Structure 1
Amino acid sequence: MSTQNDTARAFKALHKPGDPLVLTNVWDAITANAVASLPATKALATASYAIAAAAGLSDDELTLEVNLRAVSAIAKVAKAHNLPLTADFQDGFGDQLDEGVRSVIKLGAVGINLEDFSRELGGLYPVAEAQERIRRVLAVAGEEGVPDFVVNARTDALFAGQNVDEAVQRGKAYLQAGAANVFIWGGPSRKGWSRGEVEKATEALEGKLNVILVRMKPDGLSVKELAEMGVARVSVGPQLMLMTAGSVGDAAAKILAGEGV
């Protein structure tokens, strides 16, 4: 019988530079079931922005309690389909980091996204502190019997006004602290980042990079192109939720106008 750490180890092994793990992020049991039922799905991943929106909150207002409630429902789906689950854990919810990680592991998750932008500070954690938070996550995971727990360390350096070189340096520091992979987020104002930037970061991080597939941008890079660049992980964040909400609105408008379902 496989253990939770066996699942974590298998999940970590899915991160292959040049043959990336593709995650179509979910936010509740309904979307989790829809994605988990697809033969090509290799793991489930949550999106905190979408979870917050489903609870009537902004991403900044999402609490640990609300996040765990959603993860709990999604974890049941992951277990039923025998799929690894990784949870978007924002900045670790400040001083609730250890408590939160222990809870999410007990729910069945084998990985998290952990950001270096602190809502409490209103800015980036100093690199050394962000590294220490990664080490704390892995220490708790070890105590819970999941030493291969996967930390996808997200840096918001670009969002905070720094350049790609600075984002890469943060990424390297997080890998040194034990993160398995790095997610460099460009922020909403950038609308993604350029091919040259992705190539530069991928080379510097030896492929241990998560890039968001910008499905809502006509000239966005494809999964194939990102794979050719050598990235190890591709996700979509809350984009499916935003697309779904638009589709529901369009369908409802037709029904209200007198059309059939």
Structure 2
Amino acid sequence: MSSPQNEFAKTLKALHQPGNPVVLTNVWDAISARTVASIPETKAIATASYAVAAAAGLQDEDLTLEVEIAAVRAIAPVAREFNKPLTVDFQDGFGERLEEGLRAIIKAGAVGINLEDYGRELSDGKGGLYDVSVAQDRIQRVLKIAAEEGVPDFVINARTDALLEGRPLSEAIERGKAFLAAGAHNVFIWGGRARGGWSRQEVEEASKALGGRLNVSLRRVVSGGLTVQELSDIGVARISVGPQLMQRTQAAVAEEIASILRSDKV
């Protein structure tokens, strides 16, 4: 059974248009969410797990489900106030707590998630890529749970860390196709900071192979990345900034603090 919340999911889904991408300036708490939501051009609110973790004094890989849920519960009322759909960076779904966590964030107001194919703790106790079939099953489980919660149009942006794990682009693309086949609405191929992101040629290849249903991270902290217009021209459907707003905010605050403390004025 659908719900009023599902209308937000439909809105978020419709914003993903290859060649006319939704641009997400990711947030991490209620203050950043309010700042982003107040900009008229903002179409949706999206969190960044790295930034959510940092705001709680944690590394991204140490983010707990409890901290994640608390952040969503603080951000969701802002999204509702400004009538914007909310999508949550949900990492890999927190392992075996996928269903528990998903129900909690949907009840809070989320209508979409990023879902990674890199498991923090697999059966051998070490992190690594889920087998494609396992990742597909997790996508299908999310959609089933969301439908049970009254959000059948729940939007999954399925992230693959294949490039980050040293796999070829072809494998990242094949994983993306498999995730779309399992019900994901869009694919996020993460190049990673250590790799230096990925090239225009790679983005073009992936976008063409995935029919434009691709999320690319916009580089703002360092120079040299593709612009929003360039990514639109390539044909992607979604652009995000991840934790870069938080990082730039830190720099701006540090500059202001230095200006205050080093002032000769009393």
1:153 maps to which of 153, 158, 170: 158
1:209 maps to which of 200, 207, 214: 214
CA shift, 1:217, in A, is 2.6
Aligned residue in 1 for 2:187: 182
Equivalent residue runs for 1:28-67 within 5 Å: 28-67=29-68
After TM superposition, what 4+ stretches of structure 1 lie above 6 angstroms from structure 2? none
Aligned residue in 2 for 1:257: 262
* Distance of 2:201 and 2:88 partners within structure 1: 29
Equivalent residue runs for 1:100-111 within 5 Å: 100-111=101-112
- Which residue identity lines up with residue 66 of structure 2 in the other structure? E
* Distance of 1:259 and 1:55 partners within structure 2: 34
> What's the CA shift string for 1:76-128, capped at 9, x where partnerless?
10000000000000010000001111111000110000000011031100000
* Distance of 1:202 and 1:114 partners within structure 2: 19
**TM-aligned CA distance change 1:183 to 1:260, over 3 Å:** farther
- Which residue identity lines up with residue 193 of structure 2 in the other structure? P
Aligned residue in 2 for 1:164: 169
* Distance of 2:226 and 2:81 partners within structure 1: 33
- Which residue identity lines up with residue 113 of structure 1 in the other structure? N
Aligned residue in 2 for 1:97: 98
Q: What SS class does the counterpart of residue 174 from structure 2 fall into?
A: helix
* Distance of 2:108 and 2:193 partners within structure 1: 31
Aligned residue in 1 for 2:138: 133
- Which residue identity lines up with residue 54 of structure 1 in the other structure? A
* Distance of 2:222 and 2:243 partners within structure 1: 14
1:241 aligns with 2:246: yes
CA shift, 1:187, in A, is 1.4
- Which residue identity lines up with residue 92 of structure 1 in the other structure? G
1:221 aligns with 2:222: no
- Which residue identity lines up with residue 172 of structure 1 in the other structure? K
1:13 aligns with 2:21: no
TM-score of the aligned structures, taking structure 2 as reference length:
0.96
Aligned residue in 1 for 2:201: 196
* Distance of 1:223 and 1:217 partners within structure 2: 15
TM-score of the aligned structures, taking structure 1 as reference length:
0.98
Aligned residue in 1 for 2:148: 143
* Distance of 2:47 and 2:128 partners within structure 1: 23
Bigger shift: 245-254 or 48-57? 245-254
CA shift, 1:163, in A, is 1.0
- Which residue identity lines up with residue 187 of structure 2 in the other structure? V
CA shift, 1:256, in A, is 1.6
* Distance of 2:244 and 2:32 partners within structure 1: 13
**TM-aligned CA distance change 1:151 to 1:249, over 3 Å:** same
* Distance of 1:37 and 1:254 partners within structure 2: 28
Identity %: 64
* Distance of 2:29 and 2:188 partners within structure 1: 23
Are the equivalent residues in 1 in contact too, given 2:90–2:113 (CA < 8 A)? yes
Aligned residue in 2 for 1:74: 75
* Distance of 1:76 and 1:101 partners within structure 2: 17
Q: Name structure 2 gaps, 5 residues minimum.
A: none
**TM-aligned CA distance change 1:146 to 1:196, over 3 Å:** same
